[in-house]
Structure 1
Amino acid sequence: MESFYSLLQNNVLDAQPWRTREELRMRIVRWIERTYHRRRKQKALGKLTPIAYEEKLLTQALTLAA
């Protein structure tokens, strides 16, 4: 958990001064959804990142369709 907060601090909180809490909140949500979760390996996905898992599923689907 400490690494998550460290990454959040470095990549979002310290990136610029924020005018409103809402602006900061939206930026945190975007960072988590677009960056953090896409790079982080997920146990439920067989230790793959969400992007790697989607690519694996697409490859399997295309192979079955051929």
Structure 2
Amino acid sequence: MDGVIFPSDRGSEYTAARYQELCRRLGVVQSMGRVGCALDNAAAEAFNSTLKVEYVHRHRFRTRAEARLKIATWIADFYNTVRRHSANDGLPPITFELHMNEKRKASSALLRTAVA
């Protein structure tokens, strides 16, 4: 997961030592906004809003475990792979990332050729 940046607020779940260690182990960089500055974590707030409006408020969960599983599945199987995002030129995040990686590789190859 190297290169992944996770924006969040400074909530206790994100500042907990165990959570931070997990992020370090997975190669996820945490990006936390300044205290009291909502604009610093606008991406996280937008995601949480989308999650609630498009999924959570439309479903009833019998247990927390069921909610965790179904929400995680929605994120992995729909939000990241199928749902179009205006910030990504109308592409799902995974498709957008694949396109960006292809462009980076092509750009790197072009630079190597120019230098050689």
Structure 1 equivalent of residue 82 of structure 2? 39
Unaligned runs of 5+ in 1: none
> What is the rounded CA distance, in whole Å, between the counterparts of 1:40 and 1:33 in structure 2?
10
Larger Rg: 2
Q: Which of structure 1's runs of 4+ aligned residues deviate more than 3 A?
A: none
Please, what TM-score do these two structures have when normalized by structure 1? Answer: 0.64
Aligned counterpart, 1:30: 72
- Give the alignment's Cα RMSD to 1 decimal: 2.5
Higher strand share: 2
Counterpart of 1:48?
91
How many pairs does the alignment contain? 54
| Percent pairwise identity | 15
Which position in structure 1 is the counterpart of 2:107? Answer: 64
Q: Report the Cα distance in structure 2 between the residues aligned to 1:55 and 1:36, rounded to whole angstroms.
A: 16
TM-score, normalised by the number of residues in structure 2:
0.39
Cα separation, 2, equivalents of 1:53 and 1:59 = 10
